[in-house]
Amino acid sequence: MRGNNLVTKSNNLIETPLKLGVVEMRIIIVLISTLSPNDDDFKPYRFKISEFAKMIGVKNKNIHQQIKDYTYSLMSQPFYLHDNLQVTWLASAEYFPGEGVVEVEFSPKLKPYLLQLKEKFTTYRLIDIIKLKSAYAMRIYELLKQYERIGSRTFTVQRLKELLGIEDQYPVYADFKKRVLVKAQQEINKHTDISFSFEEMKTGRKITEIKFLLTSKSADAKSSVLNHPDKPAGARHHTSSRLRQQLKEEFGLQAKAIDQVLAQYDKNYIAENLEVVRSDAKRGRIKDIPAYTMSALKTDYRKKRSGLEEEQLATQQAKQIGIDLMESYIQELSQQVQQHIISLSPQQLEQELEGLKYSVRTLGIEIVDDEILDPFSESGGYFIQYIQKKYFKDYTFELYCEQQTDLD
């Protein structure tokens, strides 16, 4: 197990309320980091108990019993997915005392949420979450990491508590802020690849919503247009899936209403009216956001433009769509390359490393073996380029654009 392993989860799984302690959370993400997202099915996964205990922060003398207790807990705490599926994380955990090994298997019903993920998933490095000391910080990190390229995310206080599994705790907001939000902020800002601040929004005198403002420490994400939430919505590339997510999570519409909106209105029309709703909400003009949103779409709250303004906007949108598509293509290509790398067996990894060294032999480039799985190191960067050219040369920008047209 390496700290640079990637953790890839379906967004639906991340959005599921969970009641787990910090060690249980660490166990799950360490196990997920050993999966190959390209696998067709789960298989038994074996670990040295001593190595496993060190990774998840178990330091007691009787680490074997401690690990047993935690895996038993994960097998005896079911949770819900989509209100209809009740499932546990692990199907089994078998110990081999003479070998100092534990063998675990994921519950088969989790397969659609961890394997063969083609869309609506989030990937992050194990090293960016494993150092966090509270389960709250780990969950908030995942929930915000999904929106890193967007730059902000808003929750109602009640919904955030539900997702953290503490809906019945901290009835006084000041306690919730001090013990959950501020502590998570300190940990995430110090140890991970993102940082955040947050704004509190009130209904009357009561704080009812939290808006998180995200900053990425990654150079690639910092350059993204999507990291600037104040950019006019009309200047972004809009897809049905993105609008559906916004209408549900940010504007509070139910599934039936969302289906109606997407079927009735043009995507740019929807996005531009949503920007008006956002602006009015910031000014405190809205009491019922879902109702106001539906009224905006029905009536068209957009500022009327002249013919010249419409033409200029269309030109701006066309340019921005091209930029956004290219950025999305680069991100998708990067994710596919990373997933390919983590799917390599030790023998395959060694073969690819030798191929990389051979390819740069005349360039005076030194490849450090221990750094090839770190995408932020020089050797890791060369390794990514090598794998990309070798296996993904046919995955062109033109092909990606065709795929997006089919999805829309």
Question: Tens digits of per-residue pLDDT, 242-286?
Answer: 788 888 888 888 888 888 888 888 888 888 888 888 877 766 667
Q: Output the six-digit token pair for 34.
A: 């050993």
Lowest-confidence region among 76-80, 155-159, 190-194, 330-334: 330-334
Can you tell me the mean pLDDT for 123-145? 91
Q: Where do the DSSP E strands lie in 19-108?
A: 45-48, 79-81, 85-87, 90-96, 101-106
pLDDT at 107: 93
Q: Report angle CA 286, 290, 291 to the nearest 5 degrees.
A: 75
pLDDT at 100: 85
CB-facing half-sphere around the CA of 91: CA atoms within 13 A: 11
Q: With 0-12 CB in 10 A as exposed, 13-18 as middle and 19+ as buried, what is 191? A: middle
Bigger pLDDT: 37 vs 298: 298
Bigger pLDDT: 296 vs 408: 296
> pLDDT tier at 224 (50, 70, 90 boundaries)?
very low
Can you tell me the mean pLDDT for 374-386? 79
pLDDT at 323: 65
pLDDT at 220: 43
pLDDT at 162: 92
Please, are residues 265 and 297 in contact by the beta-carbon 8 Å criterion? Answer: yes
Classify 124 as helix, strand or coil: strand
* Separation in Å, CA 266 to CA 7, 84, 213, 235, 357: 36, 33, 29, 15, 51
* Separation in Å, CA 241 to CA 38, 94, 228, 245, 258: 23, 41, 20, 6, 11
pLDDT at 149: 81
Rounded mean pLDDT of the chain? 81
pLDDT at 141: 96
pLDDT at 19: 87
Lowest-confidence region among 71-75, 194-198, 319-323, 379-383: 319-323
Percent of the chain exceeding pLDDT 90 equals: 21
pLDDT at 84: 82
Give the integer Cα–Cα distance in Å for 21 and 304. 52
Please, are residues 365 and 377 in contact by the beta-carbon 8 Å criterion? Answer: no
Classify 147 as helix, strand or coil: coil
Bigger pLDDT: 54 vs 184: 184
Bigger pLDDT: 140 vs 152: 140
* Separation in Å, CA 408 to CA 5, 26, 186, 266: 32, 37, 40, 12
- What is the signed CA dihedral for 122, 124, 130, 133, rounded to 10 degrees? -60
> pLDDT tier at 221 (50, 70, 90 boundaries)?
very low
pLDDT at 98: 82
pLDDT digits (tens, 9 = 90+) for 229-246: 333 333 344 566 778 888
> pLDDT tier at 183 (50, 70, 90 boundaries)?
very high
Classify 209 as helix, strand or coil: strand
Bigger pLDDT: 108 vs 255: 108
pLDDT at 376: 63
pLDDT at 1: 47
pLDDT at 60: 66
Can you tell me the mean pLDDT for 358-381? 79
Q: Output the six-digit token pair for 317.
A: 């949108």
Judge whether residue 184 has pLDDT over 50.
yes
The per-residue b/e assignment along 3-26, b for 16 or more CB within 10 angstroms, e otherwise, is: ebbbbbbbbebbbbebebebbbbb
